[in-house]
């Protein structure tokens, strides 16, 4: 049975993926764009239950055909370059399915090779999110959709233009007509893409299996890493809960020594106390999504753990939780192995 998990919000978390045709290119400094195969997301995901370890809500109900059509439409839009001003990029250009729906480049690159300010984070388990983007500027996945479309350094278009293009495409007009009573609208574009993003669920990791009683799911090194994660490493203080994130904002000092440091959450809240704070990312699938931090400045998981082992970078707004961990080289390695064990079920 196809299942839907609901949350106390005016939208539905759909636990399915319906594949439609289309590919996307991922354009960066390389003049020859990489092509993401159309079968990156196989059709059998539509029949899978929520992966173990994720808490998606109490209700589970069959999905009607309109919901299936909406997710299929969102998937098609996610991979379609029609959303960008010059038709050169798609959402998948920075959120590469082959890279954990994150960007392998330190800073994402938009139309005209415009260099972005931040690294595009993973979309795994965004269905569990509360605020979105590194600075939390969007309070729903629907609201999140418009920002990259309208950012001049990303897709560089606007929703009015996107709607006009879609209305001129008979296939899209037909697809929207089957899915929404009012057809092609900006709100329906956002709803479709957001519902597709809600299907990007990663769970049933080795850690989940170990916690559910499978003693041999983790290696000795990974078990040592789990112990450190929950004790002297203090990782759980920010990377907590089923999705290994507290959904809050913290200043760890990343980028604080630059001439014009990114102010992070402060750009949204306008509170000076939020200067340099960024949202805690999920650790699920973290082994797939290098480089790390909001600016892509840390290349490997080992370097991530070493960064936190040093206590981050001192600055006036440094989070009080940031203190040297005093882990030795072997213990750093144990934590890295634990982080790798947080991968899960995904093609």
In terms of residues, how long is the chain? 347
pLDDT for residue 3: 40
First to last CA, the chain: 20
Q: How many CB atoms lie within 10 A of CB 109?
A: 22
Alpha-helix runs per DSSP H in 55-140? 65-78
pLDDT of residue 334: 98
Question: Which pLDDT does position 40 carry in this prediction?
Answer: 64
- pLDDT at position 189: 98
279 bridge partner residues = 249
Determine the pLDDT at residue 66.
Answer: 83
What are the structure tokens assigned to 68, written together? 């299936």
Grouping H, G, I as helix, E, B as strand and the rest as coil, residue 35 is strand
pLDDT confidence of residue 71 = 85
**One digit per residue, pLDDT tens: the chain, 347 residues?**
334 343 333 334 444 433 333 333 333 344 334 445 545 665 554 455 778 888 776 444 566 778 888 888 999 999 999 999 999 999 999 999 999 999 999 999 999 999 999 999 999 999 999 999 999 999 999 999 999 999 999 999 999 999 999 999 999 999 999 999 999 999 999 999 999 999 899 999 999 999 999 999 999 999 999 999 999 999 999 999 999 999 999 999 999 999 999 999 999 999 999 999 999 999 999 999 999 999 999 999 999 999 999 999 999 999 999 999 999 999 999 999 999 999 998 76
Q: What is the pLDDT of residue 32?
A: 38
Q: Both tokens of residue 247? A: 């959904």
- pLDDT score for 12: 41
pLDDT, position 36: 59
**Residue 1: per-residue pLDDT:** 31
The closest of 3, 149, 160 to 77, measured between CA atoms, is 149
**Cα 115 to Cα 267: distance, rounded to the nearest angstrom:** 19
Residue 8's pLDDT is what? Answer: 34
Q: Please give the Cα distance from 265 to 270 (Å, whole number).
A: 8
Contact 83, 90 (CB under 8 A): yes
Place of tokens 């200067």: 275
pLDDT at 33 (0 to 100): 44
The model's pTM is 0.88
Q: Which pLDDT score is estimated for 199?
A: 87
């Amino acid at each position: 049975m196809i299942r839907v998990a609901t949350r106390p919000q005016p939208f539905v978390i759909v636990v399915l993926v319906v594949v439609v045709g289309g590919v996307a290119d991922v354009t960066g400094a390389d003049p020859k764009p990489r092509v993401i195969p159309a079968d990156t997301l196989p059709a059998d995901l539509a029949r899978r239950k929520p992966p173990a370890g994720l808490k998606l809500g109490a209700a589970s109900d069959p999905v009607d055909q309109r919901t299936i059509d909406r997710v299929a439409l969102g998937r098609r839009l996610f991979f379609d370059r029609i959303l960008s001003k010059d038709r050169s990029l798609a959402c998948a250009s920075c959120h590469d399915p082959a890279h954990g729906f994150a960007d392998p480049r330190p800073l994402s690159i938009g139309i005209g090779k415009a260099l972005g300010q931040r690294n595009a984070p993973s979309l795994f388990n965004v269905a569990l999110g509360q605020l979105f983007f590194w600075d939390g500027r969007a309070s729903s996945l629907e609201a999140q959709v418009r920002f990259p479309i309208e950012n001049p350094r990303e897709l560089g278009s606007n929703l009015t233009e996107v709607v006009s293009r879609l209305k001129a495409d008979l296939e899209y007009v037909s697809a929207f007509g089957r899915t929404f009573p009012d057809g092609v609208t900006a709100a329906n574009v956002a709803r479709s893409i957001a519902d597709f993003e809600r299907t990007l669920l990663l769970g049933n990791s080795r850690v989940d299996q170990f916690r559910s009683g499978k003693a041999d799911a983790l290696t000795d090194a990974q078990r040592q890493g789990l112990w450190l994660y929950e004790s002297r490493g203090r990782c759980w203080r920010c990377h907590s809960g089923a999705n290994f994130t507290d959904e809050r904002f913290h200043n760890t000092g990343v980028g604080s020594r630059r001439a014009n440091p990114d102010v992070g959450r402060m750009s949204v809240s306008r509170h000076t106390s939020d200067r340099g704070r960024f949202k805690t990312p999920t650790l699920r699938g973290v082994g797939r999504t290098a480089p790390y931090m909001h600016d892509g400045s840390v290349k490997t998981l080992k370097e991530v753990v070493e960064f936190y082992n040093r206590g981050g970078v001192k600055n006036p707004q440094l989070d009080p939780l940031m203190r040297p961990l005093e882990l030795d080289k072997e213990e750093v390695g144990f934590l890295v192995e634990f982080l790798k064990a947080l991968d899960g079920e995904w093609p």
